[in-house]
Every structure is written in C-alpha cells, then in structure tokens.
Amino acid sequence: MRRQSHGGEVFAASRMLSMPPDAILDMSASLNPLGMPQSVGRAIRAALPHAVHYPERDAHALSEVLSASLGIPRGRMLCGNGSTELIYLAVRALQPARILIPSPTFSEYEKAVAAAQTTAPVARECTIDDFPLKEQNGFRLNASEFIAAMEKMTSRSVDGDQRSASSVAFLCNPNNPTGTVTPRKEMLHIARAAEKNRCYLVVDEAFIDFCPEHAIIVKTLDNPYVIVLRSMTKFYALAGLRLGFGIFPTPVRKKIGDIREPWSVNSLAQAAGLAALADNAYQMRTYRLIAEEKRFLEDHFRAMDIGFVPSCANFYLLKMRNAKAVMDSLFHKGILVRNCRDFRGLSANHMRIAVRSRRENMRFIKELARCMES
C-alpha cells in the first residue's frame, strides 16, 4: 500500500484498486459528509458562462461579503486558493529566521518553510523550534508553556543579531490531526504574548466552523502580530474548488499582494463561496449531523476498546497496536483512512478518520471490526 502524504487521495486509490472513485469510502479527508451545498451547485452552473473571463484578482464580491459578515475591514482580508496557499505566502512574505511549530500538527507549515528557503532571492537559514504536545495530556496545548517557548525563541533571535528577520509561531485551532481545541481565552492570551515579544502568530482556523465559539478573528484586529487563516473547503466540502481567506496586518497583506501570482482564486470558486456563506440551512444541518455522528462513532470506539482523542472538529485521531495491518486491510476494501506516521510526534499506531454520514460510518465500523478480528 502506498503511504499517503495527505488525505483525500481518492483518484490515486481508484487507479491502484481498479475501483471507480464513487465506490471508495474516503474517511481520510475531513470534509462535510453532506457534500457540497445544492445552493453552491446552482451558483456554479449560473457562473459557468462567465468563466470565459478572467476572475476578479482580489475576489472583490466575496471579500465584501466576508468583511461584512465577520466585521473585518476589507483592506485586511485576502482570499486564496485554499488556506494552504496563504500559509505558503505568509512564510514567503515574512521570511522568518525562527519558527515555532507544535507537534503533531498540520505538516504544511514545515513544508512552507522549506519552500520559502528554496525560492527566496537571498538564501536565509530558518530554524524550526519544535513544541511537542504531550499524548498523556491528550495532546492539549499548554498556553503558558507555549508562551515560554515563544519568549525563548524570540530572545535567541535577538542574541543572534537577526533583528531584521521576524519570528513566527504557528497554531492550528482546532488542531489537525488531534481535533483538540485551545479555548478562545487562552488563544487571546497567546496573541497578547506574541505582540509583546514581536513574534508573528499565525492561527490556522481551518476547522473553526465546527466550534465557532473559539474563533479569535474579531478579538485580535488591533494586534499587529496576529494572522488568522480560514478554509472554506472543510465545512462546505469544496476541496476540489480550493477556497480560503486570511486576515493579515496591513503591512503583511501588502507584502503578500506584491509576491503572489494573479488570479489564484477562480471565478467558480468565488461564486461557490458567496452561495455557501448565504446557506444558513446547510450550516444548521451540518451541526446536527456532525453531533449525531460523533456520538455514534464514539460509542463504537468505546465498545471496541479503540483509543481516541476527544475531538472538537469533524475527525478523530485513533490509536491501536495493529493500526498498520488494519489500515492496509481497509485500503484493499476500498476504505481510505489517514495514516499518521508522517506527522511529527505520532507513530504507525495512529490513524485519523473523518466523521461521515451514518451509512458510511456504519460501513467503516463494520469493516474495522472485521479487520481487528482477523
């Protein structure tokens, strides 16, 4: 079985297994089990004739709606080809000398650092400080310890006479792949410490739509060192269209505008985003479904004696001794789960699974039980 470097590799699995994509159950990508909203499908069809024109460079209409709905100044916002594009652009713009990254967390932060080092006009070393999250503590972030690590990192930068280069700390909230969330109060405490230490804090809220009470966007507008990124691909199942946005300090947004490629957000994605944001009924259905299916899955995990991390998002981190054999067996049955071996701080005994519909979750649990028995 080929190891996944990311979830959602349905088409590659289809070729390997000689199965049509629709026959594969993808539990590896944490997308809304309701699928793309019907309102989005209608909006895409209506926008298709206009695809002969170049899209708006700055996704003007979508940015206006996001600005109004979130209470964010238009000039602080930037839409992107998924939030991942904005991660890479932020690192390129800031050109940090040191970066603080928890582990385990989203692997694209480290990859963005490596990419920025190879594309920079002048080669610059960037040191990554690892902040391990403790499994015995449920992988929860200790805010005080993280702030201490941030202070230590920034003091090293000054001692190393790197005042012209910035320091950056990344936090994914809720964290991927653990599903743990750092409460808003603690996040704001970290944000104030970042400002005090002149360290840019990049908060990746790709899954915050599943626990919006912990979002910090509005609360950090006066902080010139906080960057907040959002994804629309998870909650609205728009992974193939690629759509995200970020809130940046004005100087950072200007730098990104100077270095990014034009037209990265296509016109169909912009139309999809506008329709999705207006679909309140879809949002309510999502909250009900996710809550019901999480209860269903957790009951079965306990009954099957499978270790799992309580999650605030639409996925779970599982742990079992025979995880490798189980994942291989599931793969050959056309069920994809996220192998977590490539996450720093996790092992081959960990896997991440998405919360899907009841029918899909039942199929997964049934096959998982068979794999564990054999």
Please indicate, yes or no, if residue 3 is contained in any of the structural domains: no
188 shares its domain with 329: no
pLDDT of 122: 56
Query: In this predicted model, what pLDDT tens digit does every residue of 93-118 receive, in sequence order?
Result: 999 999 999 999 999 999 999 998 87
pLDDT more than 90, % of the chain: 85
CATH no. for residue 333? 3.90.1150.10
Q: Report helix angle 10-17 to 323-332, nearest 10.
A: 70
pLDDT of 157: 60
**Which of residues 120 and 340 earns the better pLDDT score?**
340
128 shares its domain with 269: yes
Contact criterion met (CB below 8 Å) for 21 and 357: no
List, in sequence order, every beta strand (DSSP E) within 82-205: 98-103, 127-132, 167-172, 199-204
Which residues, 6 or more positions from 318, have their beta carbon under 8 angstroms from its beta carbon?
A: 301, 306, 307, 308, 350, 351, 352, 353
pLDDT of 7: 72
235 shares its domain with 223: yes
Contact criterion met (CB below 8 Å) for 103 and 339: no
Residues across the chain: 374
pLDDT of 342: 84
Please indicate, yes or no, if residue 19 is contained in any of the structural domains: yes
pLDDT of 2: 38
Please indicate, yes or no, if residue 157 is contained in any of the structural domains: yes
Please indicate, yes or no, if residue 1 is contained in any of the structural domains: no
Residue 332, pLDDT > 60, answer yes
Query: In this predicted model, what pLDDT tens digit does every residue of 176-218 receive, in sequence order?
Result: 999 999 999 999 999 999 999 999 999 999 999 999 999 999 8
Q: DSSP for 260-305?
A: SPTT-S-HHHHHHHHHHHH-HHHHHHHHHHHHHHHHHHHHHHHHTT
State the average pLDDT over residues 238-260.
Answer: 95
| Residue type at 89 in one-letter notation | L
251 shares its domain with 311: no
Please indicate, yes or no, if residue 325 is contained in any of the structural domains: yes
Domain boundary among 260, 278, 296: 278
Residue 41, pLDDT > 90, answer yes
pLDDT more than 70, % of the chain: 94
55 shares its domain with 20: no
94 shares its domain with 241: yes
Q: DSSP for 43-55?
A: HHHHHGGGGGSPP
pLDDT of 308: 97
Query: What is the rounded average pLDDT for all residues in the chain?
Result: 93
Please indicate, yes or no, if residue 2 is contained in any of the structural domains: no
Query: In this predicted model, what pLDDT tens digit does every residue of 340-372 receive, in sequence order?
Result: 988 999 999 999 999 999 999 999 999 999 999
**The pairing of beta strand 307-308 with beta strand 315-319:** antiparallel
Lowest model confidence (mean pLDDT) among 124-128, 252-256, 317-321: 124-128
CA distance 214 to 182: 8
Please indicate, yes or no, if residue 266 is contained in any of the structural domains: yes
Q: What residue numbers bound the domain in which 294 lies? A: 10-35+281-373
234 shares its domain with 296: no
257 shares its domain with 293: no
CATH no. for residue 237? 3.40.640.10
Domain boundary among 243, 278, 313: 278
pLDDT of 123: 55
pLDDT of 29: 93
pLDDT of 1: 36
pLDDT of 164: 46
The predicted model scores a pTM of 0.93
132 shares its domain with 252: yes
Domain boundary among 278, 302, 323: 278
Please indicate, yes or no, if residue 4 is contained in any of the structural domains: no
pLDDT of 120: 63
8 pLDDT band, cuts 50/70/90, is confident
pLDDT of 124: 66
pLDDT of 337: 96
134 shares its domain with 160: yes
Query: In this predicted model, what pLDDT tens digit does every residue of 138-181 receive, in sequence order?
Result: 999 999 999 999 999 998 765 544 444 589 999 999 999 999 99
pLDDT of 163: 44
91 shares its domain with 151: yes
pLDDT of 162: 46
Q: How many domains does the chain have?
A: 2
* Burial grade of 107 (CB within 10 A; 0-12, 13-18, 19 or more): middle
Residue 5, pLDDT > 60, answer no
Lowest model confidence (mean pLDDT) among 161-175, 255-269, 271-285, 338-352: 161-175
217 shares its domain with 287: no
